[in-house]
Structure 1
Amino acid sequence: MQDSHDFDQDDDQLVSKSQLKREAEAQQALGTKLVDLPAGKLAKLPLDDELLDAIQLAQRIRNKREGFRRQLQQIGKMMRQRDTAPIEQALHELEHAHLEQNALFHQLEKYRDAILADGDSAIQDFVETYPLADRQKLRQLYRQAQKQQQQGKPPAAARELFKYLREVATA
């Protein structure tokens, strides 16, 4: 009876060949993602020297078709020998930060467009959201943008307004 119980525990710990293959492919895909990152973002990830060297080599030989494929397989193999959770977490945070930055950029574009369209009421909304904003400077940029638009000039003040909104929002 004891032997059959031990056998049942072994069955729970067995992993199917298909599952192993899926896990290996996932590690390979993570390695490919790392190879596609620029050097600045790679530096922010918790990579050991051996793995970083392999990734940099793959980036250098990208145009060598067969060598690149073998290097990606090597990186996948290296990934399977490591705990990739910290790497995946750091990569997720990098991607998430980029998405947040894009969302802020789009929100600031909406504020700029609203200020250019509605004037003081939109300026008031922005100042309520960002109390450090200088209302007088916002009004000045709004008036300059209106004047440039009426004269048919390029929207330099509108660009300056956006720059100022970004400064305030990221301060």
Structure 2
Amino acid sequence: MAHPHSHHDDDEDTGPSKSQLKRDSQALQELGQELAALGKERLAKVPLDEDLRDAVRDYQRFPSHEAKRRQLQYIGKLMRHVDPAPIRAALDAFKGVSAEENARMHRLEALRTRLLDDEKTLHDIATAHPGADLQHLRVLRRNALKERELGKPPRAFRELFRVLRELEGAPDNDPPSGEDEA
């Protein structure tokens, strides 16, 4: 004869333990803390529902340690109702991409330096990015050189970097998005 208690014990064995639930909850809260540490641009790239996004933004605004602690608990509670996998994937991408991103930035800086040193670099850019606005790049190059010569703030120098970054970031097989940016 089966005892009612023995059936209840079997259910506990198949479900997560109280300790496991607590660890899961803590992991979600830590994931929420990682979200809260993101800047606005990166946070916008993470797939979050509106309540969770608002809760993270509120956390970022709070000055008080205690308010942040309570908000973090609330974020953890909201996290229990979402699939953490896409969020974790986005955060991992930010972490993993950082080395890649640094290398990319160095490549772009080197390209900008080559362009400033030699206008023929425009040919390489045109080959790599057929939709590039070469006239705009030529003007930025000329202005950046003039800024450097006159000791002025490097506006065109920075703009040149931004345009090169957009060119590299735009998929080569999708010219319309590149044309919108330029």
Change (3 A) 1:56 1:13: same
Superposed, 1:108-147 pairs within 5 Å as 108-120=108-120, 122-133=121-132
Corresponding residue number in structure 2 for 1:23: 24
Corresponding residue number in structure 2 for 1:58: 59
Work out the CA distance in 2 between the residues paired with 1:57 and 1:137. Answer: 41
1:58–1:71 Cα contact (<8 Å) kept: yes
Work out the CA distance in 2 between the residues paired with 1:82 and 1:20. Answer: 15
Whose Rg is larger? 1
Change (3 A) 1:123 1:14: same
1:34–1:42 Cα contact (<8 Å) kept: no
Corresponding residue number in structure 1 for 2:4: none
What amino acid maps onto 1:153 in structure 2?
L
Structure 1 unaligned regions, length at least 5:
1-5
Number of residue equivalences = 157
Change (3 A) 1:53 1:129: closer
1:112–1:162 Cα contact (<8 Å) kept: yes
Q: What is the TM-score of this pair, normalised by structure 2?
A: 0.55
Please report the RMSD computed on the Cα atoms of aligned residues, expressed in angstroms: 4.3
Corresponding residue number in structure 2 for 1:3: none
Structure 2 unaligned regions, length at least 5:
1-6, 171-177
1:47–1:87 Cα contact (<8 Å) kept: no
The C-alpha deviation readout for 1:52-80, integer Å capped at 9, x for no partner, is 554454344x3222232123123213322
Change (3 A) 1:30 1:161: closer
Corresponding residue number in structure 2 for 1:47: 49
1:46–1:90 Cα contact (<8 Å) kept: no
Work out the CA distance in 2 between the residues paired with 1:133 and 1:35. Answer: 37
2:59–2:72 Cα contact (<8 Å) kept: yes
SS in 2 for 1:112: helix
Q: Percent identical across equivalent pairs?
A: 43
Work out the CA distance in 2 between the residues paired with 1:35 and 1:15. Answer: 28
Change (3 A) 1:37 1:137: closer
**Per-residue deviation, 1:26:** 1.3
Pick from 131, 150, 153 the counterpart of residue 150 of structure 2.
Answer: 153
1:27–1:76 Cα contact (<8 Å) kept: yes
